[in-house]
C-alpha cells in the first residue's frame, strides 16, 4: 500500500528543485516526480567529432521544427516533438521548447541571473499598464540574497534601481578595448552598461546544486519517468490529495497520495496539468474559478543578433585579447522615467566581442568569401535584444483534446502574438544599437528588428498569475491557489509581469519563499 506523502512536488527544475531543497531540509516527507529520466552525465555523453555524426551537424531534418536551440550533438536531450505535440493558430507559430529530464531546463539554461525590481513588481504604479504583483521587491529581496550565493552568481553591482544589486561574486575582469569602446558609446548617451551577471560553475543546475542536498536529508524521494496527467482532489473537502501519473516507458498508470501538492512542472506544463485536472467540483480545471488559468501568458521577446558588426582594427587577425573578447549587458534604460518613449517599458542588450561573423552576412562566395572569412576571424561584435512583453488576456493556452501526447494526455493549443508595443520597441532597439555601434567605430554588417516567434526565448511566463483578487488571478502572493489552499504553483507561470530579466533567478527566489511559507503553514496546522 503506497503511503501518503506530506508534499508531492511535480517537476525537478529550478522551481521543483528549490521547493524540494527547502521542504525536505525543513523536515517534510516529500515525493518528487519528473516526466523525464534521471540522467547519468558520465554515461549519457560521449565526445564525438561533428564529421562522425550521421548528418554532419545539420541534424535530422525537421526533427525539431520549433527548437532552434537543438543541435545534432544534443538533439536527444530536447523533448521530442512527435511524442510531445501541441498546436497553435495556423499563422501564429508558438515555439514550445522543453527538456524532459531530472533537472529540467536548468541543465541547459543561459545562466543570466538578474533580479526583478519594483519597475516590474509595481509596474502599474509606474505607468498605469497591466497589474501589480501582490508583493514588492522588498519582500522578495531576502530570498534573492540567499539564492545568488547558492548559484555562485558573478557580476558587478552598479546601484541601478532597475537592476538591483545582488549578493554576487565580483567580476573584476578587465574589458577588452572593443568592449570599452561600446561601453563608452553607451556612456556618452546616458545608457547604463555593466558586466554580464551569471551563475558560474561547471553545471549550475537543480541537478547538482539543489537535488543532492535535498536527497541527502532522507526526506525526499525522487521518481523519474513519471508523466503526471492530473492532480487529484478529495471530492468532499475540495483539497488536492495527490496525482495520477503514467510511467514514461511502460505507460502503466499510478496514483500517488499527498497532503500538499507543489506544482513546478514549468509554465506551460503546469497550466496543462491544472487544465487537465477536471472534476465535478472543478469542471474548468483545478484552481480556475477566475477563468484565467492559462491566460496572461507572455515571455520576453528576443531579436537575436540585432546588430552584427566588425571591429575594423581587428581585421586580418590583429584582434588579440587586448582588443577583442568578452562582453557585457545593457540593462533596461527606456521609460525609467515615466512615458519617455512612444512605447511602454523597455529592453536590454547582451553583447559580445571576438566571434567570427557567420558567412551568411558576407555577400560573397568562393575564394573571395573564404579570404574574407579568414580576414574577419575573431573580429566580430554582436548584440541581442531582450524586450519586455506586455501580458495580455488574449494570449493564452487551452487544452486541445485532439492533440494528445505519447501517453494519451491532452496537450495545449497556444495562442500568443506580439503587439504594436513590442514591434515599436524592437525597432527602437535596432536603431539605437546600430547608432551605438557606429559611435564605437564598428562596421555594421547587418541590423534587423525581427523578433523570434513567441516562446523561442524559452522565457515563457504567466498563465497562473498571482494577485490579491481571486477573481482576477489564480494564485495569491505565496504561490498558493486561491481556490485550493494546499496547492502551490511555484514556476514561471505565477509571473504577473516579467521585465527583461531572465526569469530563472526569480523563479528560484519565489519557490524558496513559497517553500518556507508551506513549512510555516504546516507548523501552524493550516495545511
Q: Return the residue matching grid coordinates 558588426.
A: 309
Position 53 contacts another protein (CB under 8 A): yes
For the beta sheet containing 169-170, the strands, ordered from the edge strand earlier in sequence to the opposite edge, are: 169-170, 153-155, 198-199
Spatial contact of 245 and 226, defined as CB atoms under 8 Å apart: yes
Closest to another protein by CB, 50 or 170? 50
Task: Please state, in angstroms and rounded to a whole number, the distance separating the CA atoms of residues 425 and 388.
Answer: 9
Shortest Å distance, C-beta 31 to another protein: 22
Phi, psi of 462 (to 5 degrees): 85, 180
List 159, 366, 524, 525, residue binding another protein (CB under 8 A): 366
Q: Does 249 bind another protein (CB under 8 A)?
A: yes
- The interface region with another protein, picked from 60-68, 134-142, 483-491, 500-508 by CB under 8 A, is 60-68
Please give the Cα distance from 204 to 103 (Å, whole number).
Answer: 10
Q: Which of residues 2, 27, 56, 291 is near another protein by CB under 8 A?
A: 56
Question: What are the grid coordinates assigned to 200, written together?
Answer: 558560474
- Identify which range of 56-64, 149-157, 283-291, 512-520 contacts another protein by CB under 8 A: 56-64
Residue closer to another protein, measured from CB, 160 or 373 = 373
Nearer to another protein, 356 or 526 (CB): 356
* Residue among 29, 74, 165, 516 that touches another protein (CB under 8 A): 74
- The residue within the footprint of another protein, chosen from 20, 35, 67, 77 (CB under 8 A), is 77
Residue 42 binding another protein, by CB under 8 A: no
- Residue 445 interacting with another protein (CB under 8 A): yes
For another protein, the binding residue among 4, 25, 29, 37 (CB under 8 A) is 37
Binding-site member from 2, 3, 68, 76 for another protein (CB under 8 A): 76
Q: Which of 170, 184, 370, 472 binds another protein (CB under 8 A)?
A: 370
* DSSP result, 191-205: ---B---EE-SS--S
- Using the CB atoms, write b or e for 458-475: b if 16+ within 10 Å: bbbbbbbbbbeeeeebbb
445 grid coordinates: 554588417
Cell digits for 493? 507561470
Coil, strand or helix at 160: strand
Half-sphere exposure of 29 (CA within 13 A, CB side): 7
CB neighbours of residue 55 within 10 Å: 12
| Closest among 190, 175, 277, 189 to 232, alpha carbons compared | 277
Does 60 sit near another protein (CB under 8 A)? yes
Nearer to another protein, 39 or 244 (CB): 39
Residues contacting 172, CB < 8 A, separation 6+: none
Q: Rule CB under 8 A: say whether 174 interacts with another protein.
A: no
Nearer CB in complex with another protein: 242/378: 378
Q: Answer yes or no whether residue 221 interacts with another protein by CB under 8 A.
A: no
Residues binding another protein (CB under 8 A): 36-37, 39, 43-53, 55-58, 60-62, 71, 73-77, 101, 249, 359-367, 369-370, 445-446, 448, 450
Amino acid at each position: 500500500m503506497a503511503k501518503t506523502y506530506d508534499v508531492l512536488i511535480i517537476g525537478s527544475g529550478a522551481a521543483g528543485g528549490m521547493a524540494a531543497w527547502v521542504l525536505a531540509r525543513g523536515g517534510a516527507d516529500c515525493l518528487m516526480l519528473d516526466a523525464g529520466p534521471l540522467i547519468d552525465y558520465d554515461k549519457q555523453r560521449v565526445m564525438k567529432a561533428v564529421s562522425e555524426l550521421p548528418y554532419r551537424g545539420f541534424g535530422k531534418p525537421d526533427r525539431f521544427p520549433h527548437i532552434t536551440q537543438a543541435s545534432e550533438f544534443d538533439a536527444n536531450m530536447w523533448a521530442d516533438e512527435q511524442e510531445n505535440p501541441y498546436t497553435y493558430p495556423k499563422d501564429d507559430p508558438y515555439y514550445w521548447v522543453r527538456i524532459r529530464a531530472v533537472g529540467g531546463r536548468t541543465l541547459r539554461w543561459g545562466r543570466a541571473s538578474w533580479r526583478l525590481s519594483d519597475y516590474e513588481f509595481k509596474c502599474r504604479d509606474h505607468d498605469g499598464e497591466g497589474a501589480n504583483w501582490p508583493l514588492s521587491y522588498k519582500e522578495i529581496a531576502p530570498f534573492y540574497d540567499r539564492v545568488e550565493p547558492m548559484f555562485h552568481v558573478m557580476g558587478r553591482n552598479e546601484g541601478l534601481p532597475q537592476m538591483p544589486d545582488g549578493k554576487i561574486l565580483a567580476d573584476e575582469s578587465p574589458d577588452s578595448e572593443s568592449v570599452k569602446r561600446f561601453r563608452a558609446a553607451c556612456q556618452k548617451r546616458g545608457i547604463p552598461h555593466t558586466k554580464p551577471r551569471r551563475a558560474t560553475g561547471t553545471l549550475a543546475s537543480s541537478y547538482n546544486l539543489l537535488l543532492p542536498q535535498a536527497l541527502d536529508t532522507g526526506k525526499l524521494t525522487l521518481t523519474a519517468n513519471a508523466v503526471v496527467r492530473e492532480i487529484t482532489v478529495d471530492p468532499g473537502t475540495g483539497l488536492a490529495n495527490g496525482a495520477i501519473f503514467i510511467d514514461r516507458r511502460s505507460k502503466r498508470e499510478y496514483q500517488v497520495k499527498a497532503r500538499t501538492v507543489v506544482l513546478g512542472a514549468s509554465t506551460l506544463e503546469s497550466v496543462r496539468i491544472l487544465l487537465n485536472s477536471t472534476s465535478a467540483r472543478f469542471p474548468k480545471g483545478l484552481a480556475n474559478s477566475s477563468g484565467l488559468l492559462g491566460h496572461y501568458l507572455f515571455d520576453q521577446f528576443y531579436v537575436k543578433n540585432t546588430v552584427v558588426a566588425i571591429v575594423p582594427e581587428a581585421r586580418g587577425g590583429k584582434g588579440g585579447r587586448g582588443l577583442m573578447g568578452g562582453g557585457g549587458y545593457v540593462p533596461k534604460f527606456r521609460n525609467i522615467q515615466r512615458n519617455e518613449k512612444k512605447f511602454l517599458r523597455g529592453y536590454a542588450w547582451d553583447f559580445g566581442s571576438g566571434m567570427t561573423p557567420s558567412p551568411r552576412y558576407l555577400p560573397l562566395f568562393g575564394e573571395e568569401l573564404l579570404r574574407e572569412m579568414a580576414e574577419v576571424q575573431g573580429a566580430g561584435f554582436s548584440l541581442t535584444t531582450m524586450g519586455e512583453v506586455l501580458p495580455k488576456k488574449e494570449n493564452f493556452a487551452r487544452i486541445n483534446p485532439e492533440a494528445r501526447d505519447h501517453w494519451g494526455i491532452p496537450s495545449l493549443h497556444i495562442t500568443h502574438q506580439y503587439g504594436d508595443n513590442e514591434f515599436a520597441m524592437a525597432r527602437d532597439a535596432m536603431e539605437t544599437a546600430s547608432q551605438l555601434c557606429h559611435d564605437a567605430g564598428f562596421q555594421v554588417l547587418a541590423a534587423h528588428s525581427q523578433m523570434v516567434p513567441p516562446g523561442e526565448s524559452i522565457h515563457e511566463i504567466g498563465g497562473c498569475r498571482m494577485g490579491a483578487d481571486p477573481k482576477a488571478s489564480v494564485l495569491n502572493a505565496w504561490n498558493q491557489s486561491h481556490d485550493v489552499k494546499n496547492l502551490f504553483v511555484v514556476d514561471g507561470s505565477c509571473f504577473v509581469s516579467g521585465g527583461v530579466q531572465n526569469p530563472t533567478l526569480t523563479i528560484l527566489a519565489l519557490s524558496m519563499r513559497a517553500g518556507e511559507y508551506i513549512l510555516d503553514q504546516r507548523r501552524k496546522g493550516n495545511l
